[in-house]
Amino acid sequence: MLFDPRVLTLLGLLCFLPLVVSVAGKFGGSLLEEQRFQVTRDSFQINESPEGVPNDILARIWREAKLPEEFSILEPGLSKKLGEAFEQSPWIAKVKHLELKPASVIKVELEYRVPVALVKSAHGYFPIDRDGVLLPPADFSADDLARYPLIVSPRSNPQGPAGTHWGDLSIWGAARLAEILTPDHQLNTYWNKYDLASIQFSGEVNLLNASPDQLRRVTYRLVTKKGSEIIWGIAPEIPDPAEPDAETKLKRLALYFQNIGGTTAGQKPVEIDLRRWKNIARRPLPESSERTTLQ
């Protein structure tokens, strides 16, 4: 592999680049100013952003990081500077790869933060990704209420700006549940199939370094548009020998839906408990239930 001409050429360029930078410093930065070494925003190629991420993400990064219109590829510390600029965006989780290609093309591979749900709190609606990181609310509108699962959390609010964690691991668990209910971020899967309206939970974990024992105290339930409640139990990815895993719960819910034909008893709401190992428990809910449902 080392004798491949392309590999040898790349190794030669990497060895030569520090010398070029050193020479540029000795000659008053004249090489840094040469036009052939200049690149602009148009020189960047980034991987396509997933659905839900703004299409103008590169322009936003440029504007938010206050990057210059033009700069030299020989500028010392350029890779670090560009990496920090990209990761400053709340839409970017990390820069996976940054590479200088022929003809002064800079190829950047980004890991995007993709919205999985909207959190309804006492102060409004807030978009989050699968890790419970807050995304820019200004990038969402009322139309998005029909595009993403809704997490109801009247007592919990984001603890920081966009790009930071919500600050409550209960929200993280709800985000992971929303993700598995909408694989590939498509609402026409489990979410619509079971006529779901919201994810709700009891118990809060405000510590980001909480132990699995603390996370097991939070119980999640799925509320349907007709008022039925599906008790899911603990968050996905939290092991608990007392409950089936998430995959088993999904299979049981699918089987229940197939056999019963819906999540109600006639037109009356019911409570469906997925936490048992042997079977699914079901009981009618009072019509005057005071639990929150989406009308």
The pLDDT of residue 293:
39
Core vs surface per residue 229-267: b (16+ CB within 10 A) or e: bbbbbbbbebeeeebbebeebbebbeebbeeeeebbeee
Q: Phi and psi of 120, rounded to 5°?
A: -95, 110
- Percentage, residues of the chain above pLDDT 90: 45
Which residue type does 206 have? N
3-state per-residue secondary structure call for 211-271: CHHHHCCCEEEEEECCCCEEEEECCCCCCCCCCCCHHHHHHHHHHHHHHHCCCEECCEEEE
At 14, the pLDDT band (50, 70, 90 cuts) reads: very low
The residue among 181, 173, 228, 160 whose CA lies nearest residue 202 is 173
Neighbours of 145 (CB within 10 A): 13
For residues 132 and 165, is the Cβ–Cβ distance under 8 A?
yes
At 283, the pLDDT band (50, 70, 90 cuts) reads: confident
Q: Which fold has domain 115-284?
A: Rossmann fold (3.40.50)
Measure the CA–CA gap between 248 and 212, rounded to whole angstroms.
Answer: 20
At 60, the pLDDT band (50, 70, 90 cuts) reads: very high
Q: Is the pLDDT of residue 292 over 50?
A: no
The pLDDT of residue 134:
97
Lowest mean pLDDT across 140-144, 205-209, 237-241, 279-283: 205-209
| Domain locations in the chain as residue ranges | 34-112, 115-284
Task: Name 47's Cβ contacts closer than 8 Å, sequence gap at least 6.
Answer: 108, 109, 110
The pLDDT of residue 289:
44
The residue among 207, 202, 204, 182 whose CA lies nearest residue 194 is 182
Task: Name 171's Cβ contacts closer than 8 Å, sequence gap at least 6.
Answer: 119, 128, 132, 151, 153, 156
Residue in the block written with tokens 């089936």: 244
More confident residue, 143 or 163: 163
For residues 196 and 225, is the Cβ–Cβ distance under 8 A?
yes
